[in-house]
Amino acid sequence: MFKDKVFLVLLVLGLLTIVAAAGVITVQRGNGGGESPYLKVPDQSNMIVQESVPQETQVAVAGDSNATKSKEEMQAVDSAKATAKQETQAPAVKAGTDKNAAKSMVLNFTDATRMTWPVKGNVILDYSMDSTIYFPTLDQYKCNPGVVIQGDVSTPVVAPANAKVKEIGANEEIGNYVVLDMGNKYTAVCGQLKEMQVKENEYVKEGQVLGYVAEPTKYYSVEGANIFFEITHEDKAIDPLNQMK
């Protein structure tokens, strides 16, 4: 019985010795620089990853004020700005005063040309160079180189044909007047005007406003407000009604 106990004690001691020896070997392997069974992760503390994205491919985020526009969009914006700037800087051209337009205007009035009435109204004094006619205000008979057309004060008076403003003046009889060169030695005179809308050497188109009907001068106080209208060819007065539409 005693021998059995001694044997068990020795067996236990032997097992403990084996376990202790195995532990020592494991510790030595761990300290001996053997490969670690764990995957080593490289130190990333000093690594900065930078990825350069071309501006053309960057995506603009809605609402982001710093979003980058594509090259096509930038070119379109620049083009629109340039066009707007050119339009803003382009000088405004008034009708009838542009030199290029004036050069291209053909003044070719002939005996067959028919004019626009300078003002719509009744003829209260006819053309008469072969005989005399009665002038109520003057209470006398005399020749009339033009026609006197009735018109209300401030009614627009227009150019009867394409022409160049040859002269602007005034006198006692017909007040403010405009002399128009219509080409081929044909001229027209419009008198009894106010608020002149043209200037000398300006080209005007048929129907363009020259001015407005003024109060009659003392020579036409009985006849009332009117326009004096005269046509000459080679400095000789002709009947304007023969040229009217």
Domain map (residue ranges) of the chain: 123-243
Mean pLDDT of 52-63: 44
- Those residues with Cβ within 8 angstroms of residue 205's Cβ, 6 or more apart along the chain or in another chain: 95, 96, 105, 159, 162
| Residue 81's pLDDT band (cuts 50, 70, 90) | low
Residue type present at position 51: E
Residue 169 pairs with which residues in a beta bridge?
A: 177
Residue 225 has pLDDT above 90, yes or no: yes
Judge contact between 244 and 159, C-beta under 8 A.
Answer: no
CA angle 36, 41, 45 (to 5 degrees): 140
> Which fold does the domain 123-243 belong to in CATH?
Glucose Permease (Domain IIA) (2.70.70)
For the cut 70, the answer to whether the pLDDT of residue 84 exceeds it is no
Q: Residue 160 burial by CB count (10 A; 0-12/13-18/19+): exposed, middle or buried?
A: buried
Give the model confidence (pLDDT) of 134-166 as tens digits. 999 999 999 999 999 999 999 999 999 999 999
